[in-house]
Amino acid sequence: MFNAVLKREAIHGAYPERLDSPAGWLDRAGCRAASPFLRWLRLARISNSRFVDTVASAASWAAGLTDEQIRGEALRLGINVRRSGFLDPFAARLFAIVREVAGRTVGQRHFDVQLIGGRVLLHGVIAEMQTGEGKTLTATLAASSAALAGIPVHIITVNDYLAARDAELMGPIYRALGLTVGTIVHDMDSGARRQAYTCDVVYCSNKELAFDYLRDRIVLGRDSARNRLQVERLFDVRPRADQLLLRGLFYGIVDEADSVLIDEARTPVIISGNTAGDAYEEQTYKTALSLAFQMEEKRDFSIEGRERAIVILPPGLERLAAMSKVLGSVWNRRRWREELVRQALAAVHLFIREKQYLIQNDRVQIIDEYTGRTMPDRSWERGLQQMIEVKEGCPLSQAVQPLARISYQRLFRRYLRLAGMTGTAREVRRELWSVYRLATTRIPTNRPTKRQRWPDRIYATQNEKWNDVVERIAQMHALGRPILVGTRSVETSERLSRLLAQSGLDHQLLNARQDAAEADIIARAGTRGRITVATNMAGRGTDIRLETEVVELGGLHVIATELHESRRIDRQLFGRCGRQGDPGTYEAIISLEDELAQVYAHPVSRMLPAWTFRTAQRSAERLHKRMRRDLLKLDEHLDATLAFTGKSE
């Protein structure tokens, strides 16, 4: 099937990708009716339980090969795998070679469960592997097999740090097989990116991939016919084909698939160009903020619903009109002044320093709510970025004009083959199937799990909560156990840091301010008596290794000081303990004043604290799912509406 799709798409254009056309209502109805059967059929094709035995039977053959013979056999098997459509006999022998090479180069041989996971990835399915089961190593099986078959592979993860780390750790395996490995990170120029994308296996973050894809779409426009591009090579000094970064979208393996394909899908990827700005524009923002500071919540405006939308109330509109009479110019235009003040109110009341953004080197840096990291050179649109810069007294950046946009849903549906792996997919397995046609299967653990959950501790106020958090940390520290404390923002992480300092508890702080020291902080987080306070940066992709004496003491203890809007993000934090059969414990210490309870919990549910957070999380998850669905519909509508203009995306 993959070969057929590959051939068909390669004929239609010089940029191989799957055609993404919105389904009609009849197609959608048919897909909904057939979905359970289609999902079962997809999983049935990979249910061969004898695959691991087949790999094991080839182990002695692979072990007897020299390094040079391994490269030759790997290339020969890669060709057979491509011709056979990834049938098991050839794939199993290729897996045996990759397993042998991994043992020789990085000192790690794939466990049997990782072989199962690799086979799942090779067949375009999401492998749900518990945290700590070695997803990074598992990906090398499918990536090597596809690359040896001549198929370019993208391994996509949630940030540059993990992309660079994984490429460095797994690079020796690929190179021993005769493959090339590339890495895409933020500060690379176009030439370096283009060179990296020519490699057999490329590690990159979802954001860098999306922006590079949009840059290519801008270069290609809607005329990407192979013949036209070949003619340009003959006659143009700088043909478009030479300006492209990617070679197309062949095979993508998405690490932390639920984060990339679900959580990140709430926000479209937009490439923008700078527009001219001047002193008058800066004064306009200052005036809007001045007006916003004079307006009172509930009297002049309200923050509506769980979407946290600013609504200017009728008295506020009258007050705004009266205040604008003496200002003249743009302020006489009702829609303009209302939009400007609405953005100013959002900048003041919804976007909080050290929660949604940081100030670094006199610049406003956006914080990714899912990873806890800053996003350099990303900005809010429609003047919000400039409004916040004026609020914080930072130099005003140029406003931006959108040039191209795409949602993550549409981008990843364009891969000819897509697979993924994550520790937390079961809550969103239906959405992964309905949007991406990606089935999900659970992979067993290599060793029995010893992770233990302690009961949640729920308090009425935040002060009570923080006092108990400090007391619990002191108790665990006295036992010599390392503690990882998860917080939702830079602000709360630093608040807890101050409380621990006042109590004389030595600790390490990891948030967006300490991203350069991340690797060192994580490396020490499993040592005896270590206290680490972290934002979501310590959630996905971090492997906290324990000292031997720590294992005997009961392992790592994880404390969540606030639950997230998604249960999956909490599970990622709790999954830092009890990895690979190690002991570990975790608990949540929370309060009814936490943001989740205040925004999403129904007033009636607050009478039963245990239910407050369960209903709040489910409510938030439903809201975010609707937002993702609405974004996809909007993206498809814009593409259809603007198609006649010839503009890309």
CB 59 within 8 A of CB 449: no
Buried/exposed 526-554: b ≥16 CB within 10 Å, e otherwise: bbebbbbbbbbbbbbbbbbbbeeebbebb
User: Across 86-193, where does the E strand assignment appear?
Assistant: 126-128, 153-157, 181-183
Per-residue pLDDT at 10 exceeds 50:
no
Question: Token match 């405006």: residue?
Answer: 301
Q: What percent of the chain has pLDDT over 90?
A: 45
* Count of CB atoms situated within 10 Å of the CB of 4: 9
Angstrom distance (rounded) from CA 629 to CA 430: 13
Which amino acid is present at 127? Answer: A
511 closest CA partner among 524, 523, 497: 497
Per-residue pLDDT at 176 exceeds 60:
yes
Per-residue pLDDT at 443 exceeds 80:
yes
- Global pTM? 0.84
What pLDDT shows up at residue 644? 45
> What φ, ψ does residue 14 adopt, rounded to 5°?
-85, 0
All structural domains of the chain, each given as residue ranges with its CATH number in brackets, are 2-13+23-268+407-442 (3.40.50.300), 276-398 (3.90.1440.10), 450-593 (3.40.50.300)
* Candidate from 444-453, 483-492, 507-516, 559-568 with smallest mean pLDDT: 507-516
Contacts 24+ apart (CB under 8 A), 176-179: 176/67, 176/70, 176/71, 176/101, 176/104, 176/105, 177/70, 177/71, 177/74, 177/97, 177/98, 177/101, 177/144, 177/148, 178/71, 178/74, 178/75, 179/144, 179/147, 179/148
pLDDT digits (tens, 9 = 90+) for 37-50: 677 666 766 766 68
Angstrom distance (rounded) from CA 335 to CA 505: 54
Q: Could you give the count of Cα atoms lying within 13 Å of 574 in the half-sphere of its Cβ?
A: 25
pLDDT digits (tens, 9 = 90+) for 504-522: 999 999 887 766 677 788 8
In this prediction, residues 616-638 reach a mean pLDDT of 85
More confident residue, 637 or 461: 461
